[in-house]
Structure formats: C-alpha cells, structure tokens
A and B are shown apart, each in its own frame.
Chain A
Amino acid sequence: MIIGLAFVVGAAAIYLPALRRHVKRTAKLVQQTEEQARRELTQALSPTPTGPRVKTKLFWASGTEGPRLAAVTVELPLADDPVLRAKQVLNTLLAGPVDSDLRTLPPDAALLEFYLLPDGTGIADFSEALGTSIPSGIDSEQLAVDSITRTLEANVPQVQRLKILIHGQEVDTLAGHLDLTETFVVNTKPASAPAVKPAKAG
C-alpha cells in the first residue's frame, strides 16, 4: 500500500511538471491571434525564388513638392507566377524604403493573402493595421492606395484592377475617407506575361 502510494506520488512528481509545461505551451498558442496564424501560414506558403534578379519598380513617397510618388528600382528574384510575384512586390513595398519618412504604408501592416481572378481582378487582403495605423485623411489614404496600384502596374501586368480587403472583409473606407468598396484601376493595357529582364551582374 505504502509502496503503491509512493509510486503514484513519484509518478505525479515527474508527470505534473511536464503537464504544466504542456498547458503553458497550449495557452501560448491559443493567445496567438488568428491574424498571426494567417501571416505565418502565408509566409510558409510564400516562394523563395532562386531565379534571376529582376529590376523591380516600387513606388514610395517622393518627399518633394512635385509628383507625390517616386519609383525606386530594386533588384528582386521575382517569380513568374503573377500571384507570387504580386505578393513579393507588395511585401517589399510594405517593408518600406531606406528613408522611413517616405513610407506610404504603415510599418506594422502585413499582406495576408493575394488572389488573382481570371478577369484580371487582383484581391489583396491586408491586416487591420493597414487601416488603423495609416494617417487618416484623403491625401494620405489615396497616396497609400496609389503606391500599391502603381507598384502592381509596374511589375504584375496581369492585374487589371485591385480590390482591397482588410482581414478578409470588405470595408467601407481605408481610414475614414478612401472608398474601398470599389475596385481600383491598376492597368488598362491587355494582360501579357511579364518580360523578365535579368539584372546585369555586378
């Protein structure tokens, strides 16, 4: 009887700490937001292209009194697939320019998913931070959308129009002003495969 009791206590002493660690890990996972989970899933599915690096135009704020946006050319190993390509250029756009004052999109915003319909409509699903962290105003909201559409226009010609979703949902406005219920014109030219021009070595 005493031996049995000692065995149970001993087993409990070994098992309970392990059980506690397991419960803690589980609780931590539950705390993880759905958005984080989606982001991780998206990143896991994202390609890691190893192809040639391509000159890619990204549109950030110009910081001058002239045109509000300026193209910055960077070299990226872009995928041929338009959906993967769109994800790559938008994620790079979200990462921001070297000069953070020229950002057009909030640093904590993330692209959750990108879809391309057969009619050329691209659907970009962003995290809630795109709407909550962006400076409110017609000027700033239009600049953000223009930077997205012009970047897609320059690099993913298959995208003719763009619909922006926030966390999978259609919303009325980006941050109180700009209309997100409609699609934005991206490219009026007929879609064709992107001409991949490898960047010069060196």
Chain B
Amino acid sequence: MQIAFLSWGAARRLLALAIPFIACATLSFAERASSSEQPVDASAQGTSASQAAISLPSGQAGMLNVVVLDPAHGGVDYGARGTEGVRESEVVMEFAVQVRRALESQGFQVVQTRLGNEDPTFDERSAVANAQQGAVFVTLHVASTGLPGTARVYVNEDLAVEPDVTRLIPWERAQAPFLSLSRKLGDLVQGQLAQRFKGSPGSEQSAAVRQLRTTAAPAIAVEISSVTVENRNDLDRMAPGVADAIAKGVAAFKPSYVVAGTAGVKP
C-alpha cells in the first residue's frame, strides 16, 4: 500500500479541494439523509449541496472503508519513556501491526502515517487522513501515567469555528465539524476497551490533543498505560486486546458514518 506524505503546502491545497466535500459529509450524517438527491441545509455549514458532487477515489463509495492509523512520535521523538527503557514510539509501532491486522480482518483498508522510524509532523499525519474520503483516524499512544493495564480513548475538546466569507473550514479547525462523530466513535471503541481492560473508563474523554485538531475525519486517540511497567511484556500482552477493541469499535461505528453524495443508511 502506498502512503502519501504531503508537504504542508500540498496538504493545504488538498484540503482546500476536499473541504466542500468534508462539510457535506458531516451534514449528511447530521441530517440522516436517506438519498443523494435529498437537499441539505448548506447554509448551516457554509457550502452548497452541488459542491458535494466529488467522486470517491476508491473503495466502497459512500461508506466508511478506510482507517488511517497513526503510530505517534517516531524518529528522534521517542514520546513517553519508561525507566526500563520502554519507548512510546516503538511500542505504538508494534501495536499498529496488530491493530492493522484486526482492522483488515474486518474488511477495512488501512493507511498508516508511518511504517518505519520516521517522524512526520502533526500536519503531515493529518494530511494523510484529510486526503481520504470516508475515513476515520486513530492515533495510538502510550502514557507515562495512569493505571497500568488500562486504556483510554480521547476526542478533541470543543473547537469554535467562526464562519467567514470563504465558507471553508480552516485547517487549524478541521476537526470541528466531526466532533460529534468522533465522540460516537470514541464511545464505541472505549466500550470495547473497557470490556477487555478492567479499570478503563466506560466512555471517551475530551482533551486538547494536538494531532486530532487538524484532522478532517472522525478521529480518536487511544492511549495505553503505561511506559512505567517494569516488564515490557506487560504492555505487549495488551496489544491483541487493544487491536480487537479498535477493530470492533470501528466496525460498530461504520453504519453511522454516511458520506454525502450516496445513499445513506439510517442507524
């Protein structure tokens, strides 16, 4: 699978092209449109319904079919580090292998923001997701704190978007129209994690996660506790459960996410 790393300028241009579609995709979900011909209240999102007529690039049109998986950090950025030499950037890469396998077994196409020890910027990682249509974004983290053996799902805090004359979603606020979808996805994945890891919260939590803010898709951060484990195997043993929980959560979310321009499904 080819992964496109985009420059900042290219990413912005790409998002500018994609934004009208993004806005309508959100509307489509919000209004539970049952037909592609059904008009949407474009004024609410500041775009016209006709702008949604952008063909889907690949996959099953109109449905969630792509998961952008983001193993956080990388390169010289190790992320959280434990006293026993556990590095967040390495653990999340190994978790990503299992998460990817579990998602693919559910029929999803998986695109990773990094496959090796690179360290793409926050915007480059977001650009991978923003270039997709009908995708969700999952960023993987390992904490320095928290009860060992637990996992938490975060969605971005509320983001205010001031309507402007361009009627475009600013890159810096790309997550704003997707927050309700992100919360739904987060609750579904967190519910699955809570079943597998005792002591984990029952529902998603809000946090100002930088990576999520510029992502124009339903987006969650999954954080495992923690790098402070004395034995790295304690973390590794969590990987299959985390992978299964994410895959099942995303699969449960799939009927809720209806991309504009195609027939919708009422949940």
Chain A contact residues, CB within 8 Å of chain B = 65, 135-140, 142-143, 145, 172-173, 176-179, 181-182, 184
Contact = CB atoms under 8 A, between A and B. Distances in A.
Interface residues of B, number: 30
Contacts of A176: 72-73, 77, 79-80
Contacts of A135: 80, 143-145
A138 B208 CA distance: 8
B145 A142 contact: no
Given A137-B223, A177-B210, A65 B145 contact: no
Contacts of B232: none
B5 interface: no
Nearest to B207: A142
Contacts, number: 69
Interface in B13-53: none
B223 A139 contact: yes
Given A176-B73, A176-B77, A137 B208 contact: no
Contacts of B133: none
Contact of B223 (A138, A145, A173): A138
Contacts of A181: 172, 210
The residue among B79, B122, B144, B226 with the most chain A CB atoms within 10 A of its own CB is: B144
Contacts of B184: none
Given A137-B223, A172-B122, A178 B144 contact: no
B143 A138 contact: yes
Nearest to B154: A138
A177 B209 CA distance: 6
Contact of B208 (A65, A139, A143, A184): A184
B258 interface: no
Contacts of A137: 80, 88, 141-146, 223, 226
Given A136-B88, A137-B226, A172-B210, A177 B141 contact: yes
7 contacts: A137-B142, A138-B141, A138-B143, A138-B207, A138-B223, A176-B79, A177-B141
B81 interface: yes
Interface in B196-215: 199, 207-211, 213
B152 A179 contact: no
Contacts of B154: 138
Nearest to B210: A179
